[in-house]
């Protein structure tokens, strides 16, 4: 079994060590490095490359926001799972728009954290029900964000997949519904991301709403 290599970045020593201890109990996970801030993480990434980074937002020296910028520029293949106590709408949207691949609060169970890690490896993103609804309903209706998307040409199959993604179906579930292979669905999703110039499923959702694809 190929293990998923992780990094845990948090300035709270007790929380960081406790989380690492819990993650180490799962046979398919391996915490290969830890850091107390973004600067320390970037230094360690020179020699070690995890698959997923569990990243706090509020840290000294280099916080999670600045760290995310550096990671997306230098290590775009690494998945970023924000794990924080920040629960306000603006922060969630800000991190998603920056390109974070997932967002969880620290009060979630370890099982939820592990599920999120697996989802990131399988489909490239993880946004729970609350974050998805926040993106789709609350923010768009209140006009707190105004994403501007250029309308592009999408095939009927791509529109069908967009609608299922907006319905929070995983790649595997979409494949089963449409009688396709997961690899084919993943290829469609990558083309949709490229065409719509979005970074993740949250961007696809906002594109769909902005262009009335969910009617």
Element housing 195 (H / E): helix 182-196
27: Cβ contacts below 8 Å, ≥ 6 apart: 1, 3
206 pLDDT band (50/70/90 cuts)? Answer: confident
Helix (H, G, I), strand (E, B) or coil at 165: helix
**Over 50: is that where the pLDDT of 96 sits?**
yes
Helix (H, G, I), strand (E, B) or coil at 58: coil
**Over 90: is that where the pLDDT of 18 sits?**
yes
Strand partners, 9: 35, 55
Percentage of the chain modeled with pLDDT above 70: 86
In angstroms, the Cα distances linking 135 to 89, 94, 145, 147 are 9, 11, 9, 11
Please give the structure tokens belonging to residue 9.
């970045």
The DSSP 8-state label assigned to residue 61 in this structure reads: S
Predicted TM-score of the model (pTM) = 0.67
181: Cβ contacts below 8 Å, ≥ 6 apart: 175
| C-alpha span between 118 and 133 (Å, rounded) | 21
Average pLDDT, stretch 127-143?
60
């Amino acid at each position: 079994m190929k293990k998923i290599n992780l990094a845990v970045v948090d300035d709270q020593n007790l929380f960081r060590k406790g989380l690492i201890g819990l993650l180490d109990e799962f046979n398919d996970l391996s915490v290969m490095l830890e850091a107390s801030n973004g600067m320390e993480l970037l230094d360690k990434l020179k020699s070690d490359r995890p698959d997923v980074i569990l990243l706090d937002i509020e840290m000294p020296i280099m916080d999670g926001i600045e760290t995310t910028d550096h990671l997306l520029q230098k290590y775009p293949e690494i998945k970023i799972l924000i794990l924080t106590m920040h629960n306000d709408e603006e922060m969630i949207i800000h991190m998603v728009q920056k390109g974070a691949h997932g967002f969880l609060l620290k009060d979630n169970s370890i099982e939820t954290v592990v599920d999120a890690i697996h989802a990131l490896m399988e489909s490239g993103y993880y946004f729970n029900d609350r974050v998805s609804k926040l993106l789709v309903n609350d923010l768009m209706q209140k006009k707190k964000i105004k994403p501007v998307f250029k309308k592009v040409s999408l095939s009927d199959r791509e529109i069908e997949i967009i609608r299922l993604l907006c319905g929070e179906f995983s790649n595997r579930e979409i494949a089963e519904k449409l009688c396709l292979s997961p690899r084919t669905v993943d290829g469609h999703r990558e083309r949709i991301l490229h065409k719509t110039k979005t970074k993740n499923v949250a961007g696809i959702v906002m594109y769909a709403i902005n262009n009335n694809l969910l009617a």
